[in-house]
Amino acid sequence: MVDAAAIALDRTGKVRSDDDFVFYNQPVHPVEHIRHDGGSTDSGGASELLMVDLARLSPSLQSVVVTASVDAQSFGVVGGLQVQVFNAVTGEALIGFAIDGASSETAMICGELYRHNGGWKFRAIGQGYSNGLSGLAADFGIDVEPDESTLQQVPANMGQPVNPVSATRATAPAVRLAKRERLASMERDLALTAPALLPMTKQVAVCLAKHRLGHHDARVALCIDVSGSMYDLFDSGQVQRLIERVLAMGLRFDDDGKVDVFAFSDKAVRIGELGTDNHVGFADEIWQGPSLGGGTSYGPAMRLIRRYYFGTAAKRRTPLHADRPVYVMWITDGASSDERLSVSHITSSSYEPIFWQFMAIDEEPATNGMTRTASSGSSMTSPEDWSTMSRSSPSMIPRRSATTRCSIG
């Protein structure tokens, strides 16, 4: 499969930041009017669409480079690479050309939109790289992970050759190409094994890209209320549907594509891991699991989760640092019966890299102290938008954190 990308460059021929790299898993530029509109496959082959509103681009941008890359093979095997430029308003085809003669190249600069005498022009390039998108990206000042940063440019002499953009590297925020490749592989696998999850993961990708979180990692956990009053929600399938949405978040955010699952009532227990191989009927397995009482107590679950990730659930008054934050989706239909203990855990966890997202899915949201402690790293989602996801800080959760909501279903 060929993946297309657009790289926006300033007058030095470099990106200004990682936002200027618009591709499959970062499909929307947060400032410029550039987006990746996805791909399609038909009897004529596969195609991908990049949209650029030239009239609305910042004056600081001098050009937009159009690239293509392939995974686990080369353009010599794929063949048939063509580039077409259209007027998005009229649909008129402006330019079209084929790039022939490729062999071991796994990434390609296809062409470039560039400013000229107050307007824009397009030129074909056809410059190939044998070390994939990481080698190509390094030419434009995009820093890559150490094991992918060795640059080896291979001129392919294809299309209509022109002088390439300057190959001087610059310091820029890391675009994690290893994660990009993992996510692309994940989506291909989902299309074959769990196609119903694929649209959800794509919606999550757009949401994360808008908030500049597309290449960040977090450990994702799910904590589910199994008190007696939750029976109807399990029986109706609402809990199962929400479990699938949380899994879609985990597939994007967590580097192993798994979600740690906990259940609670009066007591709490870790259920195990949720993944694409066991998500079907997962809610039924939770409901039929060990008896944890019949009430609703948040405290034992918070204690269990904090111990699991940080080794202790003791009171904390100083910040704890970790490589990755923990994002806990909390499904419940009522207020906690141990408010004082729950608030104590939230207060201590406000010094830890953890974010609690409470999702009330009954007819009435919980209205006790849990909603009042939202500024301490937690938030309550109301019943009318219970399928809404939220995001946390991409690195360390601060002592006072906020929520930005992103709908994925």
pLDDT at 41 over 50: yes
| 52-60 own/partner pairs: CB under 8 Å, 24+ apart | 52/6, 52/113, 53/88, 54/113, 54/120, 56/32, 57/8, 57/32, 57/33, 58/31, 58/32, 60/10, 60/11, 60/16
pLDDT averaged over every residue in the chain:
76
**Which of 291 and 79 is assigned the larger pLDDT?**
291
For 166-172, what is the mean pLDDT?
Answer: 33
- Residue 304: pLDDT over 90: yes
Alpha carbons 243 and 279: distance in angstroms, whole number: 8
- Between the alpha carbon of residue 235 and those of residues 159, 241, 286, the distances in Å are 60, 11, 12
Q: Percentage of the chain with pLDDT > 70?
A: 74
Predicted TM-score of the model (pTM): 0.54
Give 92's pLDDT tier (boundaries 50, 70, 90): confident
Span 94-100, average pLDDT:
85
| Residue of 130 and 33 predicted with greater confidence | 33
Query: Average pLDDT for residues 21-29, to the nearest whole number?
Result: 83
Q: Domain residues of the chain, as ranges?
A: 2-175, 194-407
Integer Cα distance of 126 and 130 in angstroms: 13
Mean pLDDT over 230-240 rounds to 91
Average pLDDT on 258-264 reads 94
Token pair listed for 328: 């806990």
CA distance 119 to 245: 45
Gap between the Cα atoms of 64 and 186, Å rounded: 28
Q: How far apart are CA 126 and CA 134, in angstroms?
A: 17
| Predicted local distance difference test score (pLDDT) of residue 204 | 78
d(CA 228, CA 294): 5
pLDDT tens-digit map of 281-299: 999 999 998 889 889 999 9
How big is the chain by its Cα radius of gyration, in Å? Answer: 24
Confidence tier at 214 by pLDDT (50, 70, 90): low
Q: Is residue 68 scored above 50 in pLDDT?
A: yes
Q: For 355, list phi and psi in degrees, rounded to 5.
A: -130, 125
Q: H helices within 152-224, ranges in order?
A: 177-193, 198-210
Task: Provide the pLDDT confidence category of residue 177 given band limits of 50, 70 and 90.
Answer: low
Cβ proximity of 375 and 355 under 8 Å: no
What is the pLDDT, as a whole number, of residue 182? 73
H or E segment and range at residue 211: none
Question: Mean pLDDT, to the nearest integer, of 45-65?
Answer: 89
Q: Is 194-407 a domain of CATH 3.40.50.410? A: yes
Of 3.10.180.10, 1.10.20.60, 2.60.60.30, 3.40.50.10170, which CATH number belongs to 2-175?
A: 2.60.60.30
pLDDT tens, residue by residue, 307-330: 999 999 999 989 888 778 899 999
Specify the 3-state DSSP secondary structure of 184: helix
In 3D, which of 9, 3, 52, 55 has the Cα closest to residue 28?
Answer: 52
Q: Is residue 401 pLDDT above 60, yes or no?
A: no
Flag whether pLDDT at 159 surpasses 70.
no
- d(CA 221, CA 254) in angstroms, rounded, equals 10
Assign 301 a pLDDT band (cuts: 50, 70, 90): very high
Question: What is the tens place of the pLDDT at every residue in 355-390?
Answer: 888 877 654 444 433 332 332 344 433 333 323 333
Q: Which pLDDT score is estimated for 234?
A: 92
SS3 244: helix
Tell me the average pLDDT across 251-273: 89
In whole angstroms, what is the distance from residue 310 CA to residue 326 CA? 10
